[in-house]
Amino acid sequence: MRKVKWITILVLWLTAGNLLAQASPQVVDTKNVAPLDAQPEKRALQALLRIAEKEIVPAVEAMPADKFGFAPTDGEFKGVRTFGQMVKHLSATNYIPAAAALGEQPPADAGDELGPETVRTKAEILNYLNGSFTQLYRATEAIGPTAPSVNASPISPLKQDEVTRSALIVESLMHAYDHYGQMVEYLRMNGVVPPASRP
């Protein structure tokens, strides 16, 4: 009986200690913690951006100009964008978060995520795409302690109090690779081996 009493007391004591530990605020000693160095983060994002650009731009260059109006029609492809529209969309959605990361307003012609109506030819679309990567590089370069404020992006799921410059750049990269995968399919449907898959 005495043993059961001591076990009960021990269980109650451990439970009370656990509850108190959970209820009390956690104090973190920051005296010996080094401040976050944004430079390695910036360099890593710049490297990832270069990789994305080196895969996406050559894929767009590989598609013949007369195939920029191509969109698959077999299967479940009703209403999908043409190759050219997809590249313009990808470009517009690079410009929008890049502007937010720089604390700027997005370009008016990119605001609808479709890109400018005046951009139509392969050369114009490539120029628009290259410009969008330039803006992402500008946004990446702005990472650091004295950088301008960041705006929420109208196309980002992140709210104003959640958004960071790095998060907007990562979001752009994720979106770009989603469309890169679609571009690869469009290229192969037209008998073009994507440059990244060539020996």
CATH label of the domain that carries residue 96: 1.20.120.450
- Assigned domain for 8 exists: no
Domain-embedded: residue 17: no
Predicted local distance difference test score (pLDDT) of residue 32: 65
Domain that residue 72 falls in = 38-197
Instruction: Report how many domains make up the chain.
Output: 1
7 assigned to some structural domain: no
Closest Cα partner for 167 from 55, 40, 45, 50? 45
Q: Determine, yes or no, domain membership for 69.
A: yes
Q: CB-based contacts of 140: which residues, under 8 Å, 6+ apart?
A: 42, 45, 46, 49, 165, 169
Q: Is residue 138 part of a domain?
A: yes
In-domain check, residue 45: yes
In a domain, 134, yes or no: yes
- How far is C-alpha 36 from the chain's CA centre? 21
pLDDT in tens, the chain (199 residues): 454 444 445 444 444 444 444 444 555 555 666 666 788 889 999 999 999 999 999 999 999 999 999 999 888 888 899 999 999 999 999 999 999 999 999 988 886 899 999 999 999 999 999 999 999 999 999 988 766 678 888 878 878 888 888 999 999 999 999 999 999 999 999 999 999 999 9
Is pTM beyond 0.85? Reply is no
pLDDT in tens, 114-165: 999 999 999 999 999 999 999 999 999 998 876 667 888 887 887 888 888 8
What residues contact residue 69 under an 8 Å CB cut-off, 6+ apart?
82, 83, 84
Query: With contact defined as beta carbons under 8 Å apart, do 56 and 129 qualify?
Result: yes
| Domain presence at residue 28 | no
> Do residues 83 and 68 lie in contact, with contact meaning Cβ atoms separated by under 8 Å?
yes
